[in-house]
Structure 1
């Protein structure tokens, strides 16, 4: 289920960023922004960015469930149903309500500079800001609880010898879980309340690299994924080495086993024919004696 969450996070982030690029291109070509062209891009951008946050929430709640409620068991089908209903159903509901409540496309998107939710007239941007920041706050609390549980259970007994220090374990967990939980989006508060260019640069840099961080920390550092990749690569290398051996051996090596198999078949045929001849001779002599 954790891998399902990571896949849906990556897909939602990919589609949302594609819609962001399309909206930026439309806003750059047309000033003021075209409502007819911006509205679809804004809707899908809003939907998939919210889906990204809700799937990050599912990942955090799944980790909280596995860490705190150890003895509790939930079926995989139930987890999948809850995940897809929350991951895509809730964002779709919020996006549709936002379109319906803004009373027309003129108050749904911004008038200039970008294809995005309106703020000055209808405050439609709150339909993205409030769910996103709420999920970031919940994920931060889950991260703190998970770190506390890990340190309380005794980190030294479950880590490698060079990672027994608590600070190293905390740093590693934060590095792995921060992009998956989307905690870097918390810098968005700074971009809303401050015009400092440094906060905007940090926010843009960290969130533009979120997919790369998920690839490194959430995928390549996963032991199961590394084992699967290593097994597939070793199987591929074994297959290619066997093909190389069979090709380099040539017809001379294949003729040896074929010759011995031909001799063995000839010997078996000779033994069978000799046994049949001997049985015929015995039966003939026996008939002759009775006669």
Structure 2
């Protein structure tokens, strides 16, 4: 008689069939023998006689019966004959015999119908496995043809029986070895196998310790005490609280498995250098359910070694929506509650694997809130200043002058940079990575364009002061360099992908609440870091060095002019040029030692106000021009050049 008949047994068989047909148990399925049973047209039966031990299993077939006999089980002793559905027309039926020694589970699939011969009875220690084929039993009219073992052909001929010999090994150790090898998808083997073992309470494996709880009607929540590995104090074991909303209301009974992984080696994927997870990992699974958006969160308490206040810690979970072959950790869906340097509690609204992610090598920013406020106010002032300056340059009489075109290009680039930087925090918090992919690229382009126009100002001023008798390049050339050249590296980085997105600026006052902004991923060994060094710093170095050289040359050239001797306010013009031509960006290289308290503030103030300083410079020079009829601006050099050309002619 078939065991566990009835509605519950039928549901269990349907579940097993769906699970095994999908291949989810293929990793831990130890034996699979398939073939075609050639039989007569009379009454058909499935006979089995299974005993404990580890010897020989014989799979045989004749005109009326398919038989499985032998000694391979750890706990199961079962002997019976099952009647099969008649089929007068068909003389051949496909079948497969499956054996999982870890679960002590054996079942046969005949013509698409499952027949469980040995049901799971817990996870076995020593068991009979590694079944190897013996000698084939002759050739006959009725029997097994097209036989395969693990999808490898044994024989195309019809044989009455096949014998397989097993040996005793430690199944738990072998299972953990298989789970620890390969990619992240094998981690699921452990919880799936524990769920199917039909055990309630604690389940102990060398690689994991699980606790299985059955949620029944009226479930009001439950605090799970996970089993402790040998030699580990109980207070060091993570605690888990299951809320009442975890049980699906449409089910009377459902199992939940909480698994504790003391060694996190199975999960050290896709973290990047300097970002390890702590040793403890907890996985939570509800039977046949995908749980998300819980109204009351799961609470997992981790007790760990002391984490310095300069190191950030975040509750993370395995993102199972991505490639199942990779363990990808995400921070969304979990809230981090710090309960001391040695205790962290994770409140999560979904079920998967949970851990604590630690940033080992952070560079927290001191006074981040103050620096953020200063930068935002400076960018707002620069944005408005650039608008005023662009309007002024477009309405004055010299609007079509080459110098005015260069100044206008720089003003437009700084306007775009100030505006985007002012909005970057809002976009990062509202739009996330998808919005930051585009916004970060635009911000990068604005920065490179500003650097390019600063360099053009350097070159243009040098040209006007020193190349008096040579015509300066056409304004279209300046626009191509200032607005076209920066687009090239940005387009290349967009094509490469995974460069722009949301980044975190960690505050030393609160490492767990970083400032979010759209920018390049400059984590170690990333493409964004290489791009930062080879593109951003190269642009910056060219601007800073050329700016310093230009300042020296211009100062040497004009120091004997009457304007300089008569009006020392001209010094403000030179100082304004130093801001324009990138020397303030070089302050970032001085952020070390005792200067680290002062330099960040000076850096943020001067660079966020560059648009304002640009407008102030033109206002001062315009007043000087009106008062004295001359200027230290490029326009004066241009008029001087025109006078010299006229004298020469």
Answer yes or no: same fold by TM over 0.5.
Answer: yes
Q: 1:79 Cα deviation (Å)?
A: 2.2
SS of 2:415 mapped into structure 1: helix
Q: 1:45 Cα deviation (Å)?
A: 0.8
| 1:176 alignment partner, one of 560, 576, 588 | 576
Residue number in structure 1 paired with 2:500? 108
| 1:84 alignment partner, one of 479, 483, 492 | 479
Residues 99 and 194 of structure 1: is their aligned pair in 2 closer, same or farther, counting only changes over 3 Å? farther
Residues 12 and 39 of structure 1: is their aligned pair in 2 closer, same or farther, counting only changes over 3 Å? same
Render the CA deviation track for 1:146-182: whole Å, top value 9, x for unaligned. 112223xx23x4445354xxxx75x334223123323
Number of equivalenced pairs: 210
SS of 1:109 mapped into structure 2: strand
Residue number in structure 2 paired with 1:281? none
Residues 41 and 226 of structure 1: is their aligned pair in 2 closer, same or farther, counting only changes over 3 Å? farther
Residue number in structure 1 paired with 2:458? 60
Asked if the contact 1:180/1:218 (under 8 Å) is kept, the reply is no
Residue number in structure 2 paired with 1:145? 553
Residues 162 and 177 of structure 1: is their aligned pair in 2 closer, same or farther, counting only changes over 3 Å? closer
Render the CA deviation track for 1:6-62: whole Å, top value 9, x for unaligned. 2221221112222222221133457xxx22110111111111121111111111111
Q: What is the TM-score with the length of structure 1 in the denominator?
A: 0.64
Note if 1:15 corresponds to 2:423.
no
Residue number in structure 1 paired with 2:224? none
Residue number in structure 1 paired with 2:566? 161
Asked if the contact 2:406/2:456 (under 8 Å) is kept, the reply is yes
Out of 194-203 and 64-73, give the one that drifted further.
194-203
Note if 1:43 corresponds to 2:441.
yes
CA distance in 1, matches of 2:420, 2:440: 8
Out of 201-210 and 174-183, give the one that drifted further.
174-183
Q: Which runs of 4+ in 1 moved over 4 A?
A: 191-195, 223-227
Render the CA deviation track for 1:264-288: whole Å, top value 9, x for unaligned. xxxxxxxxxxxxxxxxxxxxxxxxx
Q: Which sections of structure 2, spanning at least 5 residues, go unmatched?
A: 1-401, 505-515, 628-649
Residues 110 and 141 of structure 1: is their aligned pair in 2 closer, same or farther, counting only changes over 3 Å? farther
Matches within 5 A, 1:223-234: none
Out of 55-64 and 190-199, give the one that drifted further.
190-199
Render the CA deviation track for 1:215-246: whole Å, top value 9, x for unaligned. 1112442259858xxxxxxxxxxxxxxxxxxx
Asked if the contact 1:109/1:116 (under 8 Å) is kept, the reply is yes
The answer to which structure has the higher helix fraction is 1
Residues 203 and 172 of structure 1: is their aligned pair in 2 closer, same or farther, counting only changes over 3 Å? same
Note if 1:119 corresponds to 2:526.
no
SS of 1:196 mapped into structure 2: helix
SS of 2:485 mapped into structure 1: helix
| 2:612 alignment partner, one of 209, 212, 231 | 212
Instruction: Note the aligned Cα RMSD (angstroms).
Output: 2.7
Higher RCO (CA 8 Å, separation ≥ 6 residues): 1
